[in-house]
A and B are shown apart, each in its own frame.
Chain A
Amino acid sequence: MLSAIAGLLLVMLVAPLLPGVAGRTKAILTGRRGPPLLQLYYDLARLFRKGVVYSTTTTWMFRLAPVVLAVSALLAACLIPLDGHAAIVGFAGDVIVFTYLLALGRFVLVLASLDTGSSFEGMGASREVTFASFTEVAFFFALIALSLATDSLSFAGMLGAPLVTAWPSAAPSIVMAAATLFVVLLAETSRVPFDDPATHLELTMIHEVMVLDHGGPDLALILYASALKLTLFASIVISVVVPRGMLNPFLALAVLAAGLLAVGIAIGIVESVMARLRLTRVPQVLVAAGALAAFGVILLLR
Chain B
Amino acid sequence: MQRLVELVLLLIVLTNFMVLGTSRLSTCIRAIAFQGLLLGLLPPLLHRSLAVYTVALALSAIAVKAIILPRFLQWAIREASVRREIEPRIGFVASLLLGAVAVAVAFGTAQQLPLPDRGGSLAVAVSLATVICGLIVLTSRARALTQVVGYLMLENGVYLFGLTQAARVPFLVELGMLLDVFVGVFIMGIVVFHINREFDSLSDTDLTELSER
Query: Interface residues, chain A, CB within 8 Å of chain B?
Result: 172, 283-284, 287-288, 290-292, 294-295, 298-299, 301-302
Contacts and interface: CB of A to CB of B under 8 A. Distances in A.
Contacts of A295: 10, 13-14, 17, 100, 103
B107 A298 contact: yes
B100 A172 contact: no
Given A283-B93, A298-B103, A288 B21 contact: yes
Interface of B: 6-7, 10, 13-14, 17, 21, 92-93, 96-97, 99-100, 103-104, 107, 111, 121-122, 125
Contacts of B93: 283-284, 287
Given A284-B96, A291-B97, A302 B125 contact: yes
Given A283-B93, A288-B17, A288-B21, A294 B10 contact: no
Do most interface residues of chain A lie in helix, strand or loop, or is the interface mixed?
helix
Contacts of B92: 284
Nearest to B99: A291
Contacts of B7: 172
B7 to A, nearest CB: 7
A229 to B, nearest CB: 26
Nearest to A173: B10
A288 B99 CA distance: 10
26 contacts: A172-B10, A283-B93, A284-B92, A287-B21, A287-B93, A287-B96, A287-B97, A291-B21, A291-B96, A291-B97, A294-B100, A294-B103, A295-B13, A295-B14, A295-B17, A295-B100, A295-B103, A298-B103, A298-B107, A299-B10, A299-B107, A301-B107, A302-B107, A302-B111, A302-B121, A302-B122
B21 A284 contact: yes
A284 B125 CA distance: 25
